[in-house]
Amino acid sequence: MSTEERKLGTKKLGIGLLFLAVVVAAINLRAGIASVGAVLPEVLSSYQAGGSLAGLITAMPGIFFAIMGLAAVPLAMRLGLSRTLVIGMIATLAGLALRPWMGSIAVFIVLTALVVMGIALANVLLPAWIKEHGGRKIVALMTVYSSVLGLSGALGPLSSLLFDSWHWALMIWAIPAALQLAVWGFVWLRVRTDIPSDTASAQGDQNTKASLWRSPTAVFLLLFFGLQSMSAYVQMGWLPQMLIDAGVHSGTASISLALVGGLNVAGGLVMPWIIDKSSHLGVFPVLFGVLTFFGYGGILLFGDHYPLFWSFLLGVGGFCFPTAIALIPARSRSPMVTARLSGFVQPYGYIIAALGPFIVGVVHEHTARWVEVLWGLMIAALVMSVVGLRASKRGYIDDELALTAN
């Protein structure tokens, strides 16, 4: 797509539609996943399933984000960004609407996979879509994206407080998914084919061929994203159970998880602007990693005291997520490299992320305690600080790729 065609597509969308599309997409990126953790004990009891299956369910976001993330960019290059996003949104809506009413845990898991597969496409492609269509509003759109995504994670577990039945606590998220599909169907009709473009054909050829594994910044960003995602999905899947087992009331445990997600809203509001304006970002991943370390440490030592405080520390530590997401367009110059980087960082990062919840489920099933799990999470938080420090180094991955291609 030429620059003029890209400008025309953006003009067709309009500023209001741009922001509406990002908002409705971002609000669906976590709620359908985070809502499961708050009702996981009821789901397992209903299906008479054990801890290993619980580990599989909580690991599924990472697993399918990795699988679909690898497929996302090739699909978008063939079908266009908007059309691929719409296909994913159809899958998400179908899974959310049908999964609570299945009589088999196997079908429940398959439909959960469908939900996650659809969300995975948006996770990978939405930053590239913003880069392609955002124009001068890229930073503002990434701010909206990150903050509303955090809001989605905060609202997800709260549905368990509104309904006595876990079925309706999960089903309710089909409503915003239906709204999302309606908005993006209109977006696709306006944009049609929006294949990611590059700023220069010669540089584009180099950046398409060069392996991102040869870019140090890309690799460290992958590790940073993977470790923070692992921590986030462990929290979404297991934080309420950790607190309940420590003696915390189930309602407080759900609020604690919502607090973690709510703080991600604040992180989403501030981190894209900080990354765009600051030339020294290394302090932030270190700070957030240390706060995550102390959050898990507090649950380990004083889990039944001040649960909201430990969740507050984990929530601020979760600023690593909007930081990692904002670094994807911030460390890439062209939409093509943004799409490639997103399709590199997120899928491989989610492979790391998928290991966390699954291992937690297996270890807890065999030990019936959280000591080993929490120590492992604390160590991972410190490693996250180190790799985040390197990932935040200012520069463009486009330039690193160009150097390796020469």
Q: Which of 133, 131, 112, 151 is nearest to 30 (CA)?
A: 151
Which residue range is the domain that position 157 belongs to? 3-400
How far CA 139 is from CA of 121, 134, 171, 271, in Å, comes to: 21, 8, 33, 10
pTM of the predicted model as reported, rounded to 2 decimal places: 0.69
Residues 33 and 38: their CA atoms lie apart, in Å, by 10
Q: For residue 284, is it within any domain?
A: yes
Q: For residue 176, is it within any domain?
A: yes
In this predicted model, what pLDDT tens digit does every residue of 168-184 receive, in sequence order?
Answer: 999 999 999 999 999 99
In this predicted model, what pLDDT tens digit does every residue of 81-123 receive, in sequence order?
Answer: 899 999 999 999 999 999 988 888 888 888 988 998 899 888 8
Q: For residue 147, is it within any domain?
A: yes
Residue identified by tokens 């309710």 is 172
Q: How confident is the model at residue 9 (pLDDT cuts 50, 70, 90)?
A: very low
Q: How confident is the model at residue 219 (pLDDT cuts 50, 70, 90)?
A: very high
Q: For residue 406, is it within any domain?
A: no
pLDDT at 87: 94
pLDDT at 10: 47
Contact 343, 290 (CB under 8 A): no
Q: For residue 42, is it within any domain?
A: yes
Total number of domains in the chain:
1
Q: For residue 169, is it within any domain?
A: yes
The pLDDT of residue 41 is above 70? yes
Q: For residue 306, is it within any domain?
A: yes
Secondary-structure percent of the chain, ordered helix, strand, coil, rounded to 5: 85, 0, 15
Q: Could you tell me where the DSSP H helices lie in 246-334? A: 250-277, 283-302, 307-317, 320-330
Instruction: State the CATH number of the domain containing residue 119.
Output: 1.20.1250.20
In this predicted model, what pLDDT tens digit does every residue of 241-284 receive, in sequence order?
Answer: 889 888 888 788 888 888 887 787 788 778 777 877 777 777 88
Q: For residue 213, is it within any domain?
A: yes
